[in-house]
């Protein structure tokens, strides 16, 4: 994401609008873009979802297979998350191995799923120490207009929520829905000058000084956080962002039922 | 190869009910991605394919630049969940080869000499695969190029002709392909019937081959109509939008 | 998570005898490597960390140069023998992410606009690891930057606040971390209490989080004093040496 | 192969000659260069061949070992083809991982062997699902003057045809010749302006607009094809090329007996 | 190590001093720098050492685990040496995969350990063909001021000499010291104009035309050698260097006891 | 090491019938590859080696250029089928080291200062290996350089002296090497007897070493004669060809 530079004129325009509480796409500072979620879009995947946050578009797919557990967690299934910023999605994305941004994205989305305990991995054990379900969670950004953190997380949560373990293909009884214990939702807030905005677009992300991504659960508890960029937040701003993440998370959770 | 498996029944119907020379149901939509200069979404049978075009733009790395024309760089990529056994993300030798032959086929129609030193980048993502993805990708890519307003001699429809159960069958699906005896993907320039992509694997007599070529070229013309339709719909949408403003 | 394991005893003592809000014993030494422009060695509990700074110097590869300011490139590296199960040498995804967030945290205090097009390279080597290495590395790195005479707004002390046995505990050691329920590494600019690094893994209520932030910020101020002490010692050594000559 | 550019003068010379039915090395359009095949040149290989098409020179070696079959073909031996365009062979070839050209070459040569069923892989099964012969087919271009497709394919076919499975080394009975069921031969035809020429040299390859590589068997049946370059062929030209490939293939097959 | 160029002035200064038998840091041509060795510095390693030769500083760590032996040495433990020239150590060192210099260094240090038979790998066999001890010998250059060969070798020898195999962690009885059969010591001599100097600094290494690294054992026998750089030695010089390596080796061996 | 294995019989004959100080049969041919600027083919015992030279030519990547002289870049490569257990194609650490020491040895004789900023690229392919390939490769490479007309101070013959059964043996073959106790590859500039490549693995006393050096240097002179012969044959062929025209 390094090549793009927002022109000085656009930067000033974004700043001036925000001082009046407005944004280029007509939203208020704390308003989300239109979010759409389609699930079950890929027949070859055990679960899949295509999510749009405005012009940001993401696909997530879940594939499952049987494998051996890690030695230190013999009775737990395995989750592996990858995120590809394919060059189709943005003129700045390049082919090749994932860079720092893609790695951070994948790891933050992964932690949002893993640390929240969304998937009950103990129920994915077939025979302790021998056979467990391996879940490959693969995310592709199809079109990038900012805030991939939230779109990718929502796509993955939606794909997981609707995934069916293909047990019958492996002679392990009937197919069953992935065991889901909670619905973590991720909300990213950016800081431009001294204003906090939710769900930043690409241009807003370029102009912002700092970013905070917060994953919360149904109870409003915090499950994962990641601050980004070289700017800073005050302790009060962080507390305000956490509250925002809980509120907007509840709003988004309604979309995916 | 197993003689118990029947690919064409007594009445000449294939496993999915098609006749020998029928294409699978096909759907093309142009202009589906906001960022790309041009894009297209294509479904044929159970294949789901996205194509996007960026360019002409500055060519990186610079040593690939051609001072006399633009280079066409296609990246064909199978998404990990697009097949029944998960594919490891990232490039492999198969996708490198397919990317190369699709790049060459597209280069044959793009007026690359108008953009010296530039790169025209074409990205093909296979979201769901069910045999025939290289042809589906190329068909979609040429629509995406047209959507990008790229100066071109023509579109490039593409399809494969296969052989299963000893019979020539158009546009094999996965099941047929798994038990097939030969596969012949091709792509043409419809205005002149020139062949710009051609591969063959398997076993065909010269007579079968000549017949397969004929079937393939005819089917490419069918696909060509659907490509033009997709662009017409895209164009009229553009018109309407402009009117609305 | 196993309820039989007790992380805090009846008297509020932790497995290593600390109280909930105690840091582990910490030692910082500045100016330990001859070649680097600045360096620091840090021990906190059983962590042993080296940090070195080179720069501002010419930025390679050139396409990363920023015409308006220096870029800060941190490489965090765990040495293979630093953990109980040997780590394969070389970079991995975890160290790529940590390198990125430490770079960003350091960039927040360095006056990078003074050195357009340059690179400021920060190397952090974890020689022995026992939970909290990213915070230890960042704490050491900002001392190394100061040792290099880098113009900075302030130092960047860093520490993690964890949760184990349902209680908030400052600066978890490995044993506590293995059985912990949450971990919240943070780093601040002490002069203004601005937060420049923040992550969280696990499960915390809003109330716990607010309390953890308060504990963490206070502990950063303790660390800040040790950072300044280390630089003072380094400076006075320099003075003496000059006198001796 | 990207750095080389044939000078305008040489390009014109090639074109003018061809309009008169002649080529720079004195051949007619449909004439092959001198082909030489030496087999058994490497003692450490189970089979080997050094093939020359004029100044194009290629080595192929076959190495065999015992391994486990792929799960979906438990009763079949395994063939693995690699092709290295080592920098010794041409000033344009560079060290490093194989580029698009080398990958295409290896894959086309591999398909010519694999899809023709030349090696009877079912006879390379030792114990179904457990032990099969693995054949590593490695090709090195030593000097490149065009038409590596045909030279590489012929080197590999010659090496396979003369290979002895080292069964006694593995306590699997007596050594035996690799089970060969047919002799596929590959012929490449290039198009320069509107003339078809067989066995193009490096300069001719640079000047040509399109290339078609056709592998045929003893019966004249087609076993593999690959069109290359950004030019096109008419359907009639393709039919003509297939006939040429059958005819020239027969000629080459005589050389290797 | 390629970017650095020693200024012409410094080069002349080094040469002039040497013609008078002197060196920039006050040493005579055949004098070692101050050498310090600390062992047991890393708790997480089975053995470790931090070695300084003047301003050159190196860490070595030994990690052990249980694994399967190589098929051709079923009754021997496995040694694996790596050497990282981390960018912390010198402005010329870059991140990324090890270059030619780092590979040569690691291989020369490895041969000094392996070919000397210092570690009695047969005593590291637990069950022939099934279980043996794997020893990972990892070396990091922390500060580079010339002569990494000798510093790295000494760090590794010191780490091995003090390493305890963690048998109890693997339920293989009591921990035991690594079986050590001899103490090889490595001495590097460089040639500047026609003068031989031991233990070259970075600047001296830059100015020198050739380098010879010799590993000897307690008996003064030669266990490994490596000549480096594009200059040459006469046969007499080489014989003289070997004698020097035996003499200085004895001196260094006293430091590590 | 196994005392039952006899490498030298009662009459001083080795497993292949040679005396202790005999080279294996050797054959060198210069000018064997049409494209390269110079080339050579060499057989010694069962080793089969090709060497090719390109250059002086433009140095890529550019940051390796030396403004005062050409750099010599050798790539030593073992072909996959050259050894009894197939070698994975591509570079490895062993070939990186050998490439480096051969580059250095060749640099000692090439008048690199005549070609500032250029690269002289030397490629060595081991087609069949039977101990001593680095020496065979270097011997062939210096003939290829001469064949390319490269300005050089001298050729660089190279050979190894080994130790097996407690005896010093010249030019070990594979069988001897497998059971050998030491190996000492070396290369010299014959005109001055300067040593430009030297390695040793194993165990030798000082006396054995001095004796091995003497044997090796003498054998290099034998090889030198064969190198010059090969170039003379090549030159006279060139003469004849010129006459023919």
* Subunit contact C101:A242, Cβ cutoff 8 A: no
Determine contact, residues B123/B91, Cβ cutoff 8 Å: no
> CA-CA distance, E33 to E199, in Å (whole number)?
7
Length of chain F: 245
Q: Mark yes or no for CB contact E91/C91 under 8 Å.
A: no
From the list A249, A192, A184, the residue with the least C-alpha distance to A29 is A192
The shortest CB-CB distance from E103 to any of F96, F200, F203 is to F96
3-state secondary structure of F212: helix
Asked if D235 and B196 come within 8 Å (Cβ–Cβ), the reply is: no
| C40-92: pLDDT as tens digits | 999 999 999 999 999 999 998 888 899 999 999 999 999 999 999 999 998 99
Sequence-separated (6 or more) residues with CB below 8 Å from residue A130: A68, A69
Q: Is residue B17's pLDDT more than 70? A: yes
Neighboring chains of A (3 or more beta-carbon pairs < 8 A)? B, C
Backbone angles phi, psi at D239, to 5 degrees: -60, -40
Q: Tokens 């097939």 correspond to what residue? A: B180
For testing contact with chain E, the best of F197, F198, F205, F216 (most E CBs within 10 A)? F198
| Structural element, H or E, at residue E255 | helix E235-255
Q: D254: pLDDT confidence band, cut at 50, 70 and 90?
A: very high
Residue that has been written with the tokens 């200064």 in this structure: E13
Nearest-CA residue of chain D relative to F53?
D88
Dmax over CA atoms of chain A, in Å, equals: 62
C-alpha span between B77 and C48 (Å, rounded): 44
| Beta bridge pairs of residue C71 | C119
- A136-194 per-position pLDDT tens digit: 999 999 999 999 999 999 999 999 999 999 999 999 999 999 999 999 999 999 999 99
The model's pTM is 0.94
Question: Do chain C and chain D touch with ≥3 beta carbon pairs under 8 Å?
Answer: no
For strand A56-67 and strand C38-44, is the pairing parallel, antiparallel, or unpaired?
A: unpaired
Edge-to-edge strands, sheet with F71-78: F26-30, F38-44, F47-58, F118-128, F71-78
Token duo for residue D92: 């344009």
Judge contact between D135 and D64, C-beta under 8 A: yes
At B244 the pLDDT is: 44
Alpha-carbon span B115 to D99, nearest angstrom: 25
**φ, ψ for residue D21, nearest 5 deg:** 80, 20
Checking if the pLDDT of D58 tops 70, the result is yes
Tell if the CB–CB gap between E233 and F204 is shorter than 8 Å: no
Q: Hey, which bits of chain D come out as E strands?
A: 35-39, 47-53, 56-67, 78-84, 125-127, 131-143, 164-165, 176-177, 185-192, 195-198, 210-216, 222-228
CA distance D139 to F79: 9
pLDDT of residue F245: 39
Instruction: Report pLDDT for A246.
Output: 97
Say what the pLDDT of residue F222 is.
Answer: 98
D193 sits in the region (left: phi over 0; alpha: psi -120 to 50; else beta) called left
Across A114-128, C19-33, F208-222, least confident range: A114-128
Q: How do beta strands E195-198 and E185-192 pair?
A: antiparallel
Among residues D102, D104, D110, which one has the least CA distance to residue D227? D104
B96, B100, B194 member nearest D232 (Cβ): B194
DSSP line for chain B = --TT--SB-TTS-BTTS--TTPPPPEEEEE---SSSSEEEEEEETTEEEEEEEEEEEE-SSGGG-BTTB-EEEEEEEE-GGGSSSPPPSS--HHHHHHHHHHHHHHHTTB-GGGSTTEEEEEEEEEEE-SS-HHHHHHHHHHHHHHHTT--BS----EEEEEEETTEEEES--HHHHHT-SEEEEEEEETTTTEEEEEEEEEEE-HHHHHHHHHHHHHHHHHHHHHHHHHHHHHHHHHHHHHHH-
pLDDT reported for residue C237: 66
Q: Kind of pairing, strands B182-189 and B158-164?
A: antiparallel
Residue pLDDT, tens place only, C197-215: 999 999 999 999 999 999 9
The mean pLDDT value for B40-49 works out to: 98
Are the Cβ atoms of F127 and D43 closer than 8 angstroms? no
Q: Which pLDDT score is estimated for B7?
A: 86
pLDDT over 80 at F55, yes or no: yes
Q: Do chains D and B touch by CB distance (3+ pairs < 8 Å)?
A: yes
The answer to whether residue E220 neighbours chain F at the CB level (below 8 Å) is yes
Per-residue pLDDT for E1 more than 60?
no
Task: Write the pLDDT tens digit of every residue in A77-87.
Answer: 999 999 989 99
The whole-angstrom separation of Cα C166 and Cα C168 is 7
E94 or C225, which is more confident = C225
Looking at CATH, the fold of the domain delimited by B26-83+96-244 is given as Ribosomal Protein S5; domain 2 (3.30.230)
Contact criterion met (CB < 8 Å) for A221 and C205: yes
Distances (CA, A) of E107 to D234, E83, F75, F159, F162: 58, 9, 18, 21, 20
Average pLDDT score over chain B? 94
Which tens digit of pLDDT belongs to each residue from D171-194? 999 999 999 999 999 999 999 999
**Could you say which of B80, B90, B121 has the minimum Cβ distance to residue A136?**
B80
- Per the model's pLDDT, the better-predicted residue between C165 and C36 turns out to be C36
Please give the pLDDT value at position E78: 96
d(CA B142, CA B137): 9
One DSSP character per residue, E169-215 reads GGTSSS-EE--B----EEEEEEEETTEEEES--HHHHHH-SEEEEEE
Q: Three-class SS of residue A205?
A: helix
Chain A positions touching B128 (Cβ under 8 A) are: 42-44
Mean pLDDT score, B105-113: 98
- Find where tokens 């009459």 sit: F11
Query: Which positions in chain C touch E45 (Cβ < 8 Å)?
Result: 81
Strand partners of residue D190? D197, D211
Beta carbons of F91 and F138 less than 8 angstroms apart:
no
Question: Whole-angstrom Cα distance, residue C189 to residue C209?
Answer: 19
Confidence class of residue E156 from pLDDT cuts 50, 70 and 90? Answer: very high
Q: Which residues of F touch E116 (CB under 8 A)?
A: 203
Q: Are strands C47-58 and C26-30 parallel, antiparallel or unpaired?
A: unpaired
- Checking if the pLDDT of F240 tops 90, the result is no
User: Which among C96, C105, C201 has CB closest to A100?
Assistant: C96
Q: If you ran DSSP here, which 8-state letter would residue D174 be given?
A: S
- Domain boundaries of chain A, sorted by first residue: 8-256
* Tens-place pLDDT, residues E14-70: 999 999 999 999 999 999 999 999 999 999 999 999 999 999 999 999 999 999 999
Whether the pLDDT of residue F145 is over 70: the answer is: yes
* Min Cα–Cα distance to chain E from C8, Å: 25
Closest to B29 measured CA to CA, from B122, B147, B156: B147
B29, B36, B81: which to substitute to probe chain A, counting the most A Cβ within 10 Å? B81
Contact between residue E57 and residue E162 where contact means Cβ atoms under 8 Å apart: no
The reply to whether residue E239 touches residue F210, judged by beta carbons under 8 angstroms, is yes
Neighbour tally for D12: CB within 10 Å: 11
Pairing of strands E56-67, E47-53: antiparallel
Residues F142-158 have a mean pLDDT of 98
Sheet holding C71-78, edge to edge: C26-30, C38-44, C47-58, C118-128, C71-78
- Give the per-residue pLDDT at D3: 47
Name the CATH superfamily housing domain D8-256. Answer: GHMP Kinase, N-terminal domain (3.30.230.70)
Task: Assign D4 a pLDDT band (cuts: 50, 70, 90).
Answer: low
Q: Is D211 on the interface with B (CB under 8 A)?
A: no
* 8 Å CB contact of E140 and C129: no
**8 Å CB contact of B35 and A136:** no
Nearest to A220 among C64, C94, C206 (CB): C206
Alpha-carbon Rg of chain F, whole angstroms?
18
What are the sequence ranges of the domains in chain C?
26-83+96-244
CA angle B220, B221, B223 (to 5 degrees): 65
Q: Do E140 and C48 touch (CB under 8 A)?
A: no
> Smallest Cα–Cα separation from C55: which of C75, C41, C77, C79?
C75
Residue C227 has pLDDT above 70, yes or no: yes
What digits encode the pLDDT tens for the residues D60-73?
A: 999 999 999 999 99
């Amino acid at each position: 994401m390094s090549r793009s530079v927002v022109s000085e004129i656009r930067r000033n325009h974004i700043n001036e609008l925000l001082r009046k509480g407005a944004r280029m796409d007509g939203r208020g500072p704390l308003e989300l873009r239109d979010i759409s979620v389609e699930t079950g879009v890929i027949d070859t995947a055990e679960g899949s979802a295509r999510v749009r946050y405005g012009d940001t578009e993401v696909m997530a797919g879940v594939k499952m297979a049987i494998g051996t557990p890690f030695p230190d967690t013999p009775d737990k299934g395995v989750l592996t998350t990858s995120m590809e910023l394919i060059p189709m999605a943005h003129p700045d994305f390049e082919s090749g191995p994932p860079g720092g941004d893609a790695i951070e994205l994948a790891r933050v989305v992964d932690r949002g799923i893993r640390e929240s305990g969304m998937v009950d991995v103990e129920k994915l054990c077939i025979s302790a120490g021998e056979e467990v379900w391996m879940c490959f969670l693969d995310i592709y950004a199809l079109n990038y207009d900012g805030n991939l953190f939230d779109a990718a997380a929502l796509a993955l949560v939606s794909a997981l929520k609707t995934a069916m373990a293909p047990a019958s293909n492996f002679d392990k009884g009937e197919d069953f829905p992935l065991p889901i214990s909670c619905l973590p939702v991720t909300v990213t807030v950016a800081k431009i000058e001294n204003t906090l905005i939710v769900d930043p677009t690409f241009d807003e992300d370029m102009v912002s000084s700092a970013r905070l991504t917060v994953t919360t659960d149904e109870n409003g508890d915090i499950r994962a956080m990641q601050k980004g960029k070289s700017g800073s937040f005050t302790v009060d701003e962080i507390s305000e962002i956490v509250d925002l993440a809980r509120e907007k998370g509840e709003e988004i959770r309604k979309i995916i039922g | 190869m197993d003689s118990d498996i029947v690919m064409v029944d007594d009445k000449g119907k294939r496993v999915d009910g098609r006749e020998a020379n029928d294409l699978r149901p096909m759907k093309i939509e142009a202009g589906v991605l906001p960022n790309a200069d041009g894009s297209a979404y294509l479904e044929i049978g159970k294949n789901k394919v996205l194509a996007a075009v960026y360019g002409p733009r500055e060519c990186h790395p610079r040593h690939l630049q051609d001072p006399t024309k633009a280079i066409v760089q296609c990246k064909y990529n199978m998404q990990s969940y697009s097949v029944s056994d998960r594919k490891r993300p990232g490039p492999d030798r198969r996708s490198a080869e397919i990317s190369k032959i699709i790049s060459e086929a597209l280069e044959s129609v793009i007026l690359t000499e108008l953009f010296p030193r530039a790169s025209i980048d074409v990205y093909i993502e296979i979201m769901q695969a069910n045999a025939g993805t290289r042809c589906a990708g190329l068909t979609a890519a040429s629509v995406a190029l047209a959507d990008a307003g790229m100066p071109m001699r023509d579109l490039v429809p593409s399809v494969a002709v296969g052989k299963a159960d000893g019979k020539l069958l158009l546009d094999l699906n996965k099941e047929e392909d798994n038990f097939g005896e030969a596969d012949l993907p091709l792509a043409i320039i419809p205005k002149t019937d020139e062949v710009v992509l051609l591969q063959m694997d398997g076993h065909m007599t010269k007579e079968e081959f000549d017949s397969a070529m004929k079937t393939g070229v005819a089917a490419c013309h069918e696909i060509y109509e659907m490509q033009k339709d997709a662009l017409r719909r895209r164009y009229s949408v553009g018109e309407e939008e402009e009117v609305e403003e």
